[in-house]
Structure 1
């Protein structure tokens, strides 16, 4: 496992911090932004959809390289992976949600604690609206942005749909979304917490006042102010008191 910069300290086993003032509280923030796949939930949805057509290994390899930052162009990476989903029946999405998708440990507890402290909750994902909307409803999340898979005659076309804000929610769009929501709320981005695990989360994490890496790729773990390496998302509450 990659080590954090020398300025980081082990706050507790499996929990590292750097650059954080003592006594920080959730009430010091107004917004928390979460990545979805492998952060709020336990899977990379695109990999599991690909399993329906026997292409999980191929798609997962691209996903892993992208999340590690080895493929810099997230948009091109996503287009490549989505193209491999052409012909997948849309019923496969519901099967993935019902049979494979679970909230990660501590996700519900952390979201509830944030809501109780008055924070708004944002889900911003390079994954797909089918899942993001369901997770949003399940957790009572306030805002969500994600990618929309095109479908026709009950099957996926292998394309993503253009939306009002653009076609693909990549790292730059995640950053822009966090800034947009903060602006709409009338707050500074420094009053936001950003939580993620992959390289495409770094742009929004860089804008937030508190960046949190959850079981993250080495590069993300190295740059975050809080790194949760073991246990659930609610371990953030050990660092930032509710």
Structure 2
């Protein structure tokens, strides 16, 4: 059996790119927002189907965001307070900093939530969607291009180029079908507490709950 870590051993620096919702954090942000709109159950069902690969991600995101129309944008302050980091995030980041590796976040969720998290943790690279707002309320639309599976792969490629890190030295971590493109592009793909379609496609699968379970595996592989 081929060692999935073998190729990483030859690179001095790595780029770790992680999905956010249900990977880097313990929640699906769209569902936290939808709870305030009274549409959480409907939105959660669509999210689950999209993460299993049963629905087109961009179309499913538009449908879910449409249920938020008219909701005051200030609810994002409450949502931020509800978000918790996945166990082991701080340990993973500490190891990456100690070894000189780069870390980035890519999300089908929203900059409004992901950016403060990244800033607080010293993560420079973030790619996510934005919620359109008018007169202090959500319009029910996404502002700008939707970050779907293809968008995540583009982000990984761009972040690697900015850090002058070859694609073979990148690690992509995800849990849903919209992570598959970036995982296929990366040197090592890691399914974390993932849907079956993702776990079956990844180089390695970690069941959770700790995301830093990846660290001892990388230490062992890199000597």
Superposed pair shares fold, TM > 0.5 = yes
CA–CA separation in structure 2 for the residues paired with 1:120 and 1:230? 22
Give the deviation of 1:177 after TM superposition: 0.9
Q: 1:203 to 1:22 in 2, by over 3 A?
A: closer
> Cα deviation per residue 1:20-51 (whole Å; 9 max; x = unaligned)?
24696696542110100001001000011001
Which structure features the higher share of helix residues? 2
**1:13 equivalent in structure 2:** none
Q: The residue matched to 2:70 in structure 1 has which SS? A: coil
CA–CA separation in structure 1 for the residues paired with 2:122 and 2:99? 14
2:69 is equivalent to residue 68 of structure 1: no
CA–CA separation in structure 1 for the residues paired with 2:93 and 2:72? 33
CA–CA separation in structure 2 for the residues paired with 1:180 and 1:22? 24
CA–CA separation in structure 2 for the residues paired with 1:239 and 1:26? 15
Q: 1:148 to 1:46 in 2, by over 3 A?
A: same
2:218 is equivalent to residue 235 of structure 1: no
Give the deviation of 1:238 after TM superposition: 2.4
Q: 1:21 to 1:150 in 2, by over 3 A?
A: closer
5 Å-filtered alignment, 1:71-150, equals 71=55, 73-98=56-81, 100-150=82-132
Matched positions, count: 220
5 Å-filtered alignment, 1:117-196, equals 117-162=99-144, 167-196=145-174
Query: What do you get for the CA RMSD once the two structures are aligned?
Result: 1.8
Unaligned runs of 5+ in 1: 1-6, 8-17
Give the deviation of 1:186 after TM superposition: 2.3
**TM-score by structure 1 length?**
0.86
**2:35 equivalent in structure 1:** 51
Match of 1:222 among 200, 205, 209: 200
**TM-score by structure 2 length?**
0.93
Is the Cα–Cα contact under 8 Å of residues 7 and 168 in structure 2 kept in the other structure? no
CA–CA separation in structure 1 for the residues paired with 2:160 and 2:150? 15
CA–CA separation in structure 2 for the residues paired with 1:125 and 1:53? 22
Q: The residue matched to 1:127 in structure 2 has which SS? A: strand
> Cα deviation per residue 1:96-119 (whole Å; 9 max; x = unaligned)?
111x20001001110221122111
5 Å-filtered alignment, 1:201-212, equals 201-212=179-190
